[in-house]
Amino acid sequence: MPAKTLQQSPFITPFHTTLRAASYLSAQDDPNYYSGNSHSLASTSTVHSFMNGSGSAIYRSLAPLLESTNHELILVTCFWARSDTLETLNDVLRKLSDKAIRRGTDKIRVRLCFSSLSLFQKLFHKQSVTGQMYPPSVWTKKLGLPDPSELGGLDLEIKSIFILPFSVMHPKFMIIDRQTVILPSCNISWEEWFEGCITFSGPAVEQFTKFYNLFWDRTSMLPLYGPNGGDERSDPWQAESVGTSDLGHGHIVTHFSDMKNPSHITDIPTVFLPSPHRRNPAFRPFAAADKIIAPPTPLNAFVLTLFAKAEKSIRIQTPNITAPPVLSSLLKALERGINVTILTSERLMILEQLVTAGTTTSRCVKKLIARHKKLFLHTHRPATDEEAAISAPRPGRLRISYFEPVDGAKSRGIEGGEPQQSHLKLTVVDGEVLVLGSGNLDRASWFTSQELGVAFFDTELVKNVERMVNEAMKGRERVVYDSGRGV
């Protein structure tokens, strides 16, 4: 979809209408720069790669791109833990430090931001969005980073933000030299879960820089180039060749550009979708699902708009699905005849689900299936007249499956590179719009966590991403309900 036709999309106008109507609420958010002008969230991007696989595998594939940093690396994640992923990052930090020392210019600026380190850390965390800083004396013992003596070429700062009771800062993104964004679904963590990651450049990068600046930095950001760093921007890192590589265990990498061939997925309409955190989970245990209203954040509003305005199909891959507004909206889409495909996890973070949602994904899936079956009972009732029979659409096909690792689940440490759960957050509507980012379709993401998503409007990108995910899911999903091919 060319940029000039973005406003012709059936999703855009109702999305902006929703945000304008809620501007009096969003003005109280942090950040809230878009509350008076939701159109400022739209821009364009050029996509360079998409990859999926375990988090540790994705970080290994990202290492050359991260090591290409010349001036500034910003990394924001939710969970921080000692892991193979952290070891990959540590190697990157050492190489960047050595690079800066060898060239004898200014230090490379590195900013590491996270929210969750441990239960103890969250219970006693500073209760302010200004967060807390970590001095070099605790980098190694507390955070598992290299000794500061190994990072002399870096201007390194580390900050965490967490607000009790449930307000975790859940986004995961990286910005390289304010030119390239890496948007993974994985944390700096030991979990061997199935993840996804997209890299892109273009005006959309400015959206990420602004979000980081307003929430994590909260100062006037320093110029990218210091007095000894030169004035020229170096070209972003490129892969050696265009194409797709299947590296095993669902780790599939596609590069859309290389040193000789620019990306053909360029200047595509892109919508930045932040979702500020909230302390109030707004529990309403006795309310009907369609009466529970989610905070009208850009991410929430956009996803609900996609579901409400979908004309053919909705595809979802999410770790959990417990948010009442999501389930209610999907049921309405099915009632209109929209086909819905869901791949989720049957038993992922059960305790967290019970605490933050009061239910589990498996319970919500069973309820959705039961309600879908009732739709068929209603449509199969004899109509009192021919006009009524014609006006009742046949319910859309519902297909739900659970992620399962090849050869069954393995204990921590013996996974052998095989993803054990699905942690990818992906939504595709009508084969035209792709939403990636940190947001799950669970209650925590929709009501209390800070999240960050990005919507890409490009049919070719959608086809490529779906192709890669489909290939990775072969032998890794168990269908629990399919209302039939004829639906």
The full set of domain ranges for the chain reads: 47-269, 273-482
Distance (Å) of CA 226 to CA 66, 72, 104, 219, 222: 20, 11, 12, 17, 9
Taking the C-alpha atoms of residue 44 and residue 228, their distance in angstroms, rounded to an integer, is 32
SS3 93: helix
Taking the C-alpha atoms of residue 272 and residue 265, their distance in angstroms, rounded to an integer, is 18
* Intrachain domains 47-269 and 273-482 with the same fold: yes
Q: Are 110 and 96 in contact (CB under 8 A)?
A: yes
Low-confidence stretches of the chain (pLDDT beneath 70): 1-5, 226-233, 281-290, 379-392, 485-487
The reported pLDDT for the residue numbered 15 is: 95
Q: Are 343 and 365 in contact (CB under 8 A)?
A: no
The reported pLDDT for the residue numbered 79 is: 96
**φ/ψ (deg, to 5) at 151:** -120, 35
The two structure tokens encoding residue 181: 């964004």
The reported pLDDT for the residue numbered 393 is: 80
Taking the C-alpha atoms of residue 405 and residue 407, their distance in angstroms, rounded to an integer, is 6
| CA neighbor of 455 nearest in space, from 294, 269, 202, 240 | 269
Q: Is 418 left (phi over 0), alpha (psi -120 to 50) or beta?
A: beta
DSSP H or E segment with residue 331: helix 324-335
Taking the C-alpha atoms of residue 487 and residue 397, their distance in angstroms, rounded to an integer, is 5
- Give domain 273-482's CATH architecture: 2-Layer Sandwich (3.30)
Taking the C-alpha atoms of residue 98 and residue 70, their distance in angstroms, rounded to an integer, is 11
The reported pLDDT for the residue numbered 149 is: 97
Whether the predicted model's global pTM rises above the 0.85 cut: yes
The reported pLDDT for the residue numbered 487 is: 40
- 161-218 residue pLDDT tens: 999 988 999 999 999 999 999 999 999 999 999 999 999 999 999 999 999 999 999 9
The reported pLDDT for the residue numbered 285 is: 62
Measured CA angle at 94 (ends 93, 98), to 5 deg:
115
Q: What is the DSSP letter of 169?
A: B
Taking the C-alpha atoms of residue 340 and residue 314, their distance in angstroms, rounded to an integer, is 5
CA-based end-to-end distance of the chain = 29
Is the domain spanning 47-269 CATH 3.30.465.10? The answer is no
